Structure 1
Amino acid sequence: MLKKELQIISEFTPKINTKNLGLFFGSSLSHRGSYRRVSRVRGQLHVFSSIAMRRRLLDPSFSVLLLFFSSIFILSSISNRSVNAEVITLNSEIFNDKMQEKDTAWFVKFCVPWCKHCKNLGTLWEDLGKEMEGEDEIEIGEVDCGTDKPVCSKVDIHSYPTFKLFYNGEEVAKYQGTRDVESLKRFALEETVKAATKAQLEDDAEL
């Protein structure tokens, strides 16, 4: 058993042979030591295994490979997060730019964290975002009026929750119907078609 353990150690550390290991542990391969010596050898086996693993981690080629796979994992996580972001959080830094996107409708929820009516919505807005995922010309957004008061003041938000649809930078409709996914989706689609048709007629008139 002792010979086998020393042989395993020598495989992890090629520069150290079994004879030297025998001298190192203060015992001969031809004599079996006490249980205490055997336990000590087993302990040294774990030490040498750890050293070998550390040397492998410090190897430049191994480090580069580890960094490569770590980068892929991080990028994949970021990508998945972006793909799954059906509802986009809007703030004062990006709100105006997003609303001005050409031929794009934004259906936006305005809320504050302390409003009980906002809390009662539950996952309604997230569910709507998932339902509208295939509609490339309609984006679902939300604004926290507690942290972005200037945005909410600019678009005349005085009660919560408020749902408004914007198209090409202009407010085109305010939703006041039943708060369920199907009704909200129908409203967004119908109002977007109206706004897009109006914008197209205006563009044609300018030609």
Structure 2
Amino acid sequence: MANDNIGGKMLLLAFIIIILLIICNKSQLKSGFVGGGGSVLELNPSNYDNTVNGDYLIMVKFMAPWCGYCTKIEGPWKDLAKAYEGDDSVVIAEVNADMHKELASKANVGGYPTIMTYKNGKCLGKYQGERTVPSWKAHINANK
């Protein structure tokens, strides 16, 4: 009789652990796998396809560390990510295209920085507006 009670407790514990792992995994995607919510999600070959095909709007900045224009918008891009902290319908990401040339090629990126917008797995195209937080937010809100 005591063994049945232990078995039931173990089953309940296993169920709770599985639920917590699922919750943590979803939270990890939204937080960029490192750091807290509101950080820029770093895309690489192992997470790129699943991320850009997600059921949300995602803006992806393709950049190179040596690019002056890229470094100029690095702070505002992080501010944009912070502005959407806690909003599961928007992801702000970036690809180091110098390191992951195959991803830049897949997205037809020819120069840096290039910002692409995806929604529910479909590419909406290259962002052409001003490179400011208010302009990016207006673009996101118009396409949500």
State the TM-score, normalizing by the size of structure 1: 0.51
Alignment of 1:1-207 (within 5 A): 82-101=35-54, 103-192=55-144
**Aligned AA (2:46):** E
Kindly indicate which of the two structures has a greater share of residues assigned to strand. 2
Secondary structure of 1:107's match?
strand
Unaligned runs of 5+ in 1: 1-78, 193-207
Q: Deviations over 1:93-140 (max 9, x none)?
A: 110011122x21111101001111112224011010011214221100
Kindly indicate which of the two structures has a greater share of residues assigned to helix. 1
Deviates more, 1:114-123 or 1:103-112: 114-123
For residues 133 and 86 of structure 1, what CA distance do their matches in structure 2 show? 8
Specify which structure has the bigger relative contact order, considering alpha-carbon pairs within 8 angstroms and separated by 6 or more residues. 2
For residues 133 and 122 of structure 1, what CA distance do their matches in structure 2 show? 17
State the TM-score, normalizing by the size of structure 2: 0.72
For residues 181 and 133 of structure 1, what CA distance do their matches in structure 2 show? 14
Count of matched residue pairs: 113
For residues 138 and 167 of structure 1, what CA distance do their matches in structure 2 show? 9
Q: What's 1:28 paired with?
A: none
Secondary structure of 1:187's match?
helix
Q: CA deviation at 1:174?
A: 1.8
Q: What's 2:14 paired with?
A: none
Identity %: 34
For residues 111 and 103 of structure 2, what CA distance do their matches in structure 1 show? 14
Runs of 4+ deviating beyond 4 Å: none
- Flag the structure with larger Rg: 1
Secondary structure of 1:165's match?
strand
**Structure 1 vs Structure 2 CA RMSD:** 1.9
Q: Deviations over 1:4-49 (max 9, x none)?
A: xxxxxxxxxxxxxxxxxxxxxxxxxxxxxxxxxxxxxxxxxxxxxx
For residues 87 and 126 of structure 1, what CA distance do their matches in structure 2 show? 6
**Aligned AA (1:128):** L
Q: CA deviation at 1:85?
A: 4.9
Deviates more, 1:107-116 or 1:165-174: 165-174
Unaligned runs of 5+ in 2: 1-30
